[in-house]
Structure 1
Amino acid sequence: MSIRTSLVPAFAVACSAAFLPACSTSPTQPAAPPAAAVSQDDANASFRRHVDAVLEEMWKTFPEQAIRAGNYKYAGKLTVPDAERRAEAIAFYDRQLAALARIDVATLDASNRVDHGLMKSRFESRRWYLTTFRNWQWQPSTYNVGSEFGVILNTNFAPLDARLRLVIERLEKVPAYYAAAQASVADPTLEYTTLAIVQNRGALRGFGEDLQAKVAASGLTADEKALFATRVAAARVAIGDYLSFLGALEAKLKAGPARSFRIGKALYEQKFAYDIQSGFTVDSLHKRALAEKAALHDAMEVKARELWPRVMGGKPMPADRLVMIRAVLDQLSLKHTTREKFVETIRAQIPSLEKFVREKDLLDQDPTRPLLVRETPLYMRGVGAGASVSSPGPFDPKANTYYNVTPPEGLTDEQTESFLREYNDWTLQILNIHEAIPGHYLQLVHANKSPSVVKSLFGNGAMIEGWAVFSEKVMLDAGYDNFSPEIWLFWMKWNLRSVVNTILDIEIQTMGLEREAAMTMMTREAFQQDREATEKWLRATLSQVQLTSYFNGYAEITALRDELRAKQGAKFSVKGFNNRFLSYGSAPVRDIAKLMR
């Protein structure tokens, strides 16, 4: 369960490179709204002009962010992540925060007040990442040119020849980019070093024979093709040098000592505040998750007892309820697709989800916004997430949305069977609800139609992941799979994963939870297969806070829905709530709640 939006929105989510934007050397300062007293209409109009000016400067300053947002005006510019660039980025954020401070928020309407807050929070957050968190030093995987090249090559925003010329232009700076990367990396973790190797090998393959054949068959001139050949060769050497640097670094870190992947309580609480923007504190969310885990065990016991006679026959029922629940889940999990058909099985399920949402009238859809299922690109693999969505930004909303699926390749037969049991016939459907319909894909379709570009661009991960989890319950409440006890039991297990994600992340990063105890929690208390638990431990060493976003967002959206349903009574509409909630882009749930009230 992950989204690359996320801005991997493509918005995936939560992309380390997004925290290392580059700046122009001579940025223009957008004019702040006038200080004189004005009417609210004038103040709102002035603020919107300010937003437009800030965004235009942002695209010029941070072209990689622009590409992920669907703005290709500066797509030929590849920024070099050196010390000068970081200083310029900090100056950009300082300038924007000063301009926002001069705006009288009281003169703005509710929607613009939220946008003002989102911009302030985003610029403060990015500044904090550069100056305090400093992951540009200890996360070598931050440095990877593959993503934006992939967007340019795979998005039909211009004729292929024009896009290949952008590729040639960007290729010029790849050697300088990786030289700056090597100079920036200091005291990295072993886990991020290994990830950087995996993903940059994928990036290297992206500049291989397929791309070279595409250029050879294009309408580029002979001089352009020759320039491409020179620059792509230099880029491949630069990536190869970075891989050699990482390989030596990995060997040194394995010999020890190496920096811990745990960031500690103080940094964790700061990161949580910036990333999640929640009504919960870290401690209150942890307590809420522990209580929810116990409640889900109670509910799963009821369903497992109901299913036992049919699933387990005359076998005696264990006294330990967790063992009993696990036995039912394990037996049902034997029903699954095959390694060879895994991606195709997912692709084939999408139309039935669209049909169910349409027939139950749960949420508006848009058949003009395509969703394509594909195998996860190599430069995006290695983070322990088997599925994700890469969505176009609001400036190119009709571009393809990709549902990235990582098939169980390179695994032993035993590991493959463990993987397929985890994603059995029921869980695979829930995964598709979460990632595609009506989860991430539909949420991002709605976000790109929001009249507020700020609410779409500055997406909140807890809202995005929370909606995907919330949408699963919407489908089951509407009778998906005919209210079968099997789908409900597996949804509870799936929902328990979100809850345990929160517990794990907080306890691993701030309480020193060790691998063995974490594995026991996942396999015994969350009923996960060994393969899934192993991948989740890997993911927990490669992220901080993001794993809390699922349960945090789900809890806040559910509470808002319940509040409005109680107030509206018979007038409450599931579709009305869903459409209106998603109309506010990807703003934090607490801000959407203010607007919906």
Structure 2
Amino acid sequence: MPKNNFTRTALTGACLLAALTLGATPAIQAATPVNTAANKASAKGQAFNQLSHQFIEALWLLDPDAALYAGRYEQAAKLPLPDAATRARQLAFAEDWLQRFANVDEAKLTVNQRTDLAQLRNKLESDRFYLGSFREFEWNPAAYGVASALDLMLSTDYAPLPTRLRALSERIAAIPAYYRAAQASIKNPTLEHTQLAIRQAPGNVSVLDDVAKAGQSAKALKPAEKALLAERIAAAKGTIQGQIDFLKGLEKELLANPASARSFRIGAALYEPKFKLDIQSGRSAEQTYEKALAAREQLLAQMDQLADQLWAKTLGDAPKPADRTAKIGHVIAKLSERHVARADFFKEIRRQIPVLQDWVVKHDLLTMDAKKPLVVRETPVYARGVAGAGIEAPGPYRPQDRTYYSVTPMDDISDAEAESNLREYNHWMLQILNIHEAIPGHYTQLVYANKSPSLVKALFGNGAMVEGWAVFSERLMLESGYGGNEPEMWLMWCKWNLRSVTNTILDYSVHVKGISEAEALDMLIRQAFQTEQEAREKWRRVQLSSVQLTSYFSGYSEIMELREARKAQLGDKFKVKAFNEQFLSYGSAPVHVIRELMMQR
């Protein structure tokens, strides 16, 4: 999965934003124009373009961290403080801009502008919801961390290293105040998010060590600057250790008195509005859950037929169970014995990337840009503990920067746990993982998103579209003949697709229906054929996130519906590559928005 609103994922909730004098004229000059599509807009349409531009520039002043992830570094030295005053300014900002956008006359806008306006309103309504109702800043200690932005500044050549180090030094100087504000904000934490914060905290120290090493080796820094940087890093590391002690104190209290801990389950009252804002689907959360139940049955029927087809090949003369679930499970378990060695896991991932790119080009599925760098790396410590793999892509202001395909290593798990992981990501599943995360999945989609003529749609991306495309891309590859149309590959694709469907069922069942850990694990292991290690990691993930797991199936199902509608509309004129490239040309807009834009052409 990709990371954050600006292509870096948002599992920790709304950004905690910095101060801004509301209504002031932004001082930052935009590096990329807004709404550059060749529209002959009316005077009011042109006024909306300017208003959108003003909003985005004001947002970067309000939120320097979000600006970094979008590729804007003018305020890189500023570390936003997660305090009550900042949140009050953020809420006032959202209310102010919602009113400004409410005054826009939609009748005078083009369809592209109207859909941009809807995205801007949704972003602001979402910020208001997270601050006013969801209030994750009170109960999720893992929402507070400084490593990601520091790592991004250090590893991105947006300016000469000495300039970046000076900005890093200023940002690091504010870390003690940052964690004081964080501790004051935490009111009623969940045990699970507290433990995640403890696990991720050492990653903040390791990034500071990287900055220290770069600072000492930088010849252009004056001795006094190096000394000041070293002093600030030492103070920051002491603060982070104090934060770890604070978190461990919270954990001790919560373990001693579990009844005092807030539940990780967000409940029905928060789930439905969060789903509406995050997913932006034409369906409600409950309707999506019901649709997923029906999709699960369709997949199981298909898997039943494939298991019959593969039984003799995989299990010989062994008696075939009458129970459908047991039969499918036996075949998958046998096939899963074929997997890469633990020591070769990363090597195999790196080997497959150019193979996938060659397939996409040779089968005319998409136009690929070979110049866009993709780096496979181990997930940084500060980002571990939620998902096993993810894409970190550059923002639209700096599309030339590296995209990281981060995979959590198996260094700190037992041989049995590693074997369980490797069976889950067996010979076939590992290929599907790389299709999903890299080519033509997240990596490819985010390259296209950065080329969108609408900066609004590129910046304020919809997670269901992003994840939905990655799931759709798996099917796209198999439909083109990837995997030789072997029943083994199709069975494993069904298992993988069942995972996306089950994500929706699991997330809704846990957060709304309140199912137990035992029920969740049975759903994942017995009913969805996942290995125990994979299932336990998913159980951890559903405790640490909400709604995001529904984005895979929600987005995928809507893309499939759009493709069928487009086929019916175009008939013999429908072309796979044309559909794919047109779909991706709209940035990361919600699927229903893309449908409106595509179907009216």
Q: Answer yes or no: same fold by TM over 0.5.
A: yes
Alignment of 1:282 with 2:279, yes or no, is no
Which residue of 402, 405, 421 corresponds with 1:403? 405
Q: Paired residue for 1:475?
A: 477
Q: Paired residue for 2:392?
A: 390
Q: Paired residue for 1:524?
A: 526
Distance 1:217 1:495 in 2: 49
**What is the CA distance between 1:345 and its match in structure 2?**
1.0
Cα distance, 1:15–1:291 mapped onto 2, change above 3 Å: closer
Cα distance, 1:280–1:523 mapped onto 2, change above 3 Å: same
Q: Secondary structure at the match of 1:505?
A: helix
Q: Which letter maps to 2:18?
A: A
Q: Paired residue for 1:370?
A: 373
**What is the CA distance between 1:25 and its match in structure 2?**
4.3
- The answer to whether the 8 A contact 2:17-2:81 is kept is no
- The answer to whether the 8 A contact 1:18-1:65 is kept is no
Distance 1:17 1:29 in 2: 28
Alignment of 1:163 with 2:164, yes or no, is yes
Distance 2:254 2:347 in 1: 40
User: Which has the larger displacement, 79-88 or 196-205?
Assistant: 196-205
Q: Paired residue for 2:76?
A: 75
Q: Paired residue for 1:126?
A: 127
Runs of 4+ in 1 over 6 A off after TM superposition: none
Q: Which letter maps to 2:2?
A: I
Alignment of 1:4 with 2:24, yes or no, is no
Q: Paired residue for 2:331?
A: 328
- The answer to whether the 8 A contact 1:115-1:454 is kept is yes
Q: Which letter maps to 2:217?
A: A
**What is the CA distance between 1:295 and its match in structure 2?**
0.7
Alignment of 1:542 with 2:576, yes or no, is no
Q: Kindly provide the CA deviation profile for residues 404-430 of structure 1, in whole angstroms up to 9, marking residues without a partner as x.
A: 011212111111110100000100000
Q: Secondary structure at the match of 1:506?
A: helix
Distance 1:567 1:88 in 2: 48
Counting only pairs closer than 5 Å after superposition, residues 142-541 of structure 1 correspond to structure 2 as 142-208=143-209, 210-218=210-218, 219-255=220-256, 256-257=258-259, 258-383=261-386, 385-541=387-543
Distance 2:290 2:13 in 1: 32
**What is the CA distance between 1:102 and its match in structure 2?**
1.2
- The answer to whether the 8 A contact 2:265-2:511 is kept is yes
Distance 1:15 1:521 in 2: 23
- The answer to whether the 8 A contact 1:14-1:461 is kept is no
- The answer to whether the 8 A contact 1:29-1:95 is kept is no
- CA-based RMSD of the aligned residues comes to 1.2
Distance 2:277 2:104 in 1: 22
Q: Which letter maps to 1:4?
A: K
Distance 1:22 1:566 in 2: 49
Distance 1:99 1:213 in 2: 47
Q: Secondary structure at the match of 2:406?
A: strand
**What is the CA distance between 1:26 and its match in structure 2?**
5.5
- The answer to whether the 8 A contact 1:5-1:391 is kept is no
**What is the CA distance between 1:15 and its match in structure 2?**
4.1
Q: Secondary structure at the match of 1:21?
A: coil
**What is the CA distance between 1:310 and its match in structure 2?**
1.0
- The answer to whether the 8 A contact 1:6-1:390 is kept is no
Report sequence identity in percent: 48
Distance 1:335 1:23 in 2: 55
- The answer to whether the 8 A contact 1:76-1:167 is kept is yes
Q: Secondary structure at the match of 2:526?
A: helix
Q: Which letter maps to 1:153?
A: L
Distance 1:491 1:284 in 2: 25
**What is the CA distance between 1:17 and its match in structure 2?**
5.8
Cα distance, 1:147–1:565 mapped onto 2, change above 3 Å: same
Alignment of 1:100 with 2:94, yes or no, is no
Q: Kindly provide the CA deviation profile for residues 148-189 of structure 1, in whole angstroms up to 9, marking residues without a partner as x.
A: 001101112222121111111111110000000000001110
Distance 1:23 1:361 in 2: 48
Q: Paired residue for 2:29?
A: none
- The answer to whether the 8 A contact 1:187-1:259 is kept is yes
Q: Which letter maps to 1:323?
A: A
**What is the CA distance between 1:284 and its match in structure 2?**
1.1
Distance 2:2 2:483 in 1: 25
Q: Secondary structure at the match of 1:16?
A: coil
Distance 2:151 2:346 in 1: 21
Q: Paired residue for 2:36?
A: none
Distance 2:23 2:373 in 1: 36
**What is the CA distance between 1:24 and its match in structure 2?**
2.0
**What is the CA distance between 1:213 and its match in structure 2?**
2.1
Distance 2:14 2:356 in 1: 32
- The answer to whether the 8 A contact 2:462-2:588 is kept is yes
Q: Secondary structure at the match of 1:373?
A: strand
Q: Which letter maps to 2:528?
A: A
Q: Kindly provide the CA deviation profile for residues 114-155 of structure 1, in whole angstroms up to 9, marking residues without a partner as x.
A: 001100110011011011110000001110011100110111
Q: Secondary structure at the match of 1:88?
A: helix
Q: Which letter maps to 2:248?
A: G
Q: Which letter maps to 2:491?
A: L
User: How many aligned residue pairs are there?
Assistant: 583
**What is the CA distance between 1:18 and its match in structure 2?**
4.0
Distance 2:166 2:134 in 1: 36
Distance 1:203 1:561 in 2: 44
Task: State TM-score, norm by structure 1.
Answer: 0.96
**What is the CA distance between 1:287 and its match in structure 2?**
0.9
- The answer to whether the 8 A contact 1:178-1:238 is kept is yes
Q: Which letter maps to 2:524?
A: M
Q: Secondary structure at the match of 1:480?
A: coil
Cα distance, 1:17–1:559 mapped onto 2, change above 3 Å: closer
Distance 2:343 2:313 in 1: 30
**What is the CA distance between 1:5 and its match in structure 2?**
3.5
- The answer to whether the 8 A contact 1:493-1:527 is kept is yes
Distance 1:339 1:397 in 2: 34
Q: Kindly provide the CA deviation profile for residues 174-205 of structure 1, in whole angstroms up to 9, marking residues without a partner as x.
A: 00000000000011100000111111121122
Distance 1:349 1:6 in 2: 28
**What is the CA distance between 1:221 and its match in structure 2?**
0.8
- The answer to whether the 8 A contact 1:20-1:130 is kept is no
Q: Secondary structure at the match of 1:397?
A: coil
Q: Which letter maps to 1:342?
A: F
Unaligned runs of 5+ in 2: 27-39
- The answer to whether the 8 A contact 1:17-1:143 is kept is no
Q: Secondary structure at the match of 2:343?
A: coil
Q: Secondary structure at the match of 1:262?
A: coil
**What is the CA distance between 1:29 and its match in structure 2?**
5.9
Q: Paired residue for 1:572?
A: 574
Q: Paired residue for 2:596?
A: 594
Q: Kindly provide the CA deviation profile for residues 475-510 of structure 1, in whole angstroms up to 9, marking residues without a partner as x.
A: 000000111111100000000000000000001000
- The answer to whether the 8 A contact 1:27-1:61 is kept is no
Q: Paired residue for 2:20?
A: 24
Q: Paired residue for 1:55?
A: 56
**What is the CA distance between 1:351 and its match in structure 2?**
0.4
Task: State TM-score, norm by structure 2.
Answer: 0.96
Q: Which letter maps to 1:235?
A: A
Unaligned runs of 5+ in 1: 31-38
Q: Kindly provide the CA deviation profile for residues 355-390 of structure 1, in whole angstroms up to 9, marking residues without a partner as x.
A: 00000000111112111111101110011x110000
Q: Secondary structure at the match of 1:5?
A: coil
Distance 2:274 2:239 in 1: 33
Distance 1:163 1:344 in 2: 32
